[in-house]
Amino acid sequence: MNAIQQIEAGDACHDAHKIKVLIVDDSRLQRKILSVSLKRMGYEVREAESGHEALAICKRWPPDMVLSDWMMPEMNGLEFCHAFKDMPRDGYGYFILLTSKSAKDDVAQGLESGADDFLSKPVNGVELRARLAAGERIIQMQRKLISQTKVVSDTLDQLRAVHDSLNQDLMEAKKLQQSLVREKHKRFDNANLSFTLLSAGHVGGDLVGYFPVSDTQVGFFAIDVSGHGVSSALMTARLAGYLTSASPEQNIALNYGTDGEICARTPSDVVSDLNRIVLEEMETDHYFTVILAIADMETGQTTLCQAGHPHPLVRRRNGTIEQTGTGGLPVGLFADVEFDEFEIQLEPGDQLLLSSDGITECPDSNDVMLGEEGFERLMHDLKDSRGPQLLETLVWMLSDYAGDAGFPDDVSAALYEYRP
């Protein structure tokens, strides 16, 4: 059996899928023997008689595998291997040294130069086939890895584009939600109203606002929809449509009196209607807490309906703080629920604060909630503050209490100051 026949033995069915192989040897005969055999195996083959010629070929025709003689003039196989491995390339280049050397020190030297495998001269056909198959497996795995990496990279690029688009939409949604609070401060002849609304995320489920009733009456409210995110924000937007208009046709808290004048409905009836609307007309799993107040700006009498929302806080002119209310069930959980009303008599200089549980349930770095007593302490410290300044400082103090943890829930408040 001649050299070519020996190399091809048992390899007639081999399919190399056009793996590119560069043969580097200063012996024309050795190159010819290997070249003919590898082409018959299905490989795409090029030849070079020196390391310098091989490097020039590699630049314009990057091979997948290299079979290189060790002992060559000018540039030996180790030097060529080192230069080949340093060349930039898209895939992996598998390097096999052809050598008559077999000492362990020689093998170690070759591996240190970057060689992947060795073949002893004269080349054994079965061994060559096995070494090429091992190199081909590595190349195919590397190609598969590159393909999978490209798929992952393309997918990540698509996800980034979607995320950027969604983030932009959420930023716009946040602006729209903030616009639901038409005015952060409203001054009347005998009273002032101030509002703050901070979402824990881009958008949230809290809502505060007011609606004029008459020259002497004003309605205001605080709402906290369950959950967070877009669906909660959409529900707050819908609820805003029921409560913020000055027209009885668009505000369920208003109607026309016998004399045709606009007047306020009783808060408990309004909350009952909202409960019915959520259960019968809204296809949602969300519910919400609310506190609705109708204030008489001449007498200081304020009528409220509380449905699961935190108790309203009253700070009297002398600094005394009261938290009172009926509690009640949230809106949208049960049908035929009765919602109670209660009254608070405000005196000149008193303040009434409706706030979400994002304040009382705000945790510090040790996960200890502020609570109602902590809330009262903050308000005592703010005894000289009024209007928007009070709410801004309250948020700042709450942020200081939360520390690096930030606000896990939306923070909102409506401040009514009776100042006849």
Cα–Cα distance measured from residue 221 to residue 290, given in angstroms and rounded to the nearest whole number: 7
Helix (H, G, I), strand (E, B) or coil at 408: coil
- Looking at CATH, the fold of the domain delimited by 180-418 is given as Phosphatase 2c; domain 1 (3.60.40)
Which are the contacts of 373, defined by CB distance < 8 A and separation ≥ 6? none
- Asked if omega into 122 is within 30° of 0 (cis), the reply is yes
Which are the contacts of 300, defined by CB distance < 8 A and separation ≥ 6? 345, 346, 347, 348, 350, 418, 420
CATH 3.40.50.2300 residue spans of the chain: 3-148
Cα–Cα distance measured from residue 2 to residue 262, given in angstroms and rounded to the nearest whole number: 111
Burial class of residue 354 in the structure, from the number of CB atoms within 10 Å of its CB (0-12 exposed, 13-18 middle, 19+ buried) = buried
Contact 349, 402 (CB under 8 A): no
pLDDT in tens, 146-168: 888 888 988 888 888 887 776 67
Contact 354, 312 (CB under 8 A): yes
Tell me the percentage of the chain whose pLDDT exceeds 70.
Answer: 90
pLDDT in tens, 268-310: 999 999 999 999 988 888 999 999 999 999 999 999 999 999 9
Question: What's the pLDDT at 102?
Answer: 62
* Residues with pLDDT less than 70, the chain: 1-17, 101-106, 166-167, 169-182, 202-203, 405
CA distances from 215 to 23, 218, 219, 267, 348 (A): 97, 8, 12, 19, 18
pTM over 0.75, yes/no: no
CATH 3.60.40.10 residue spans of the chain: 180-418
pLDDT in tens, 333-357: 999 899 999 999 999 999 999 999 9
CATH class, 3-148 region: alpha beta
Q: Indicate the angle between helix axes 51-60 and 77-86, nearest 10 degrees.
A: 20
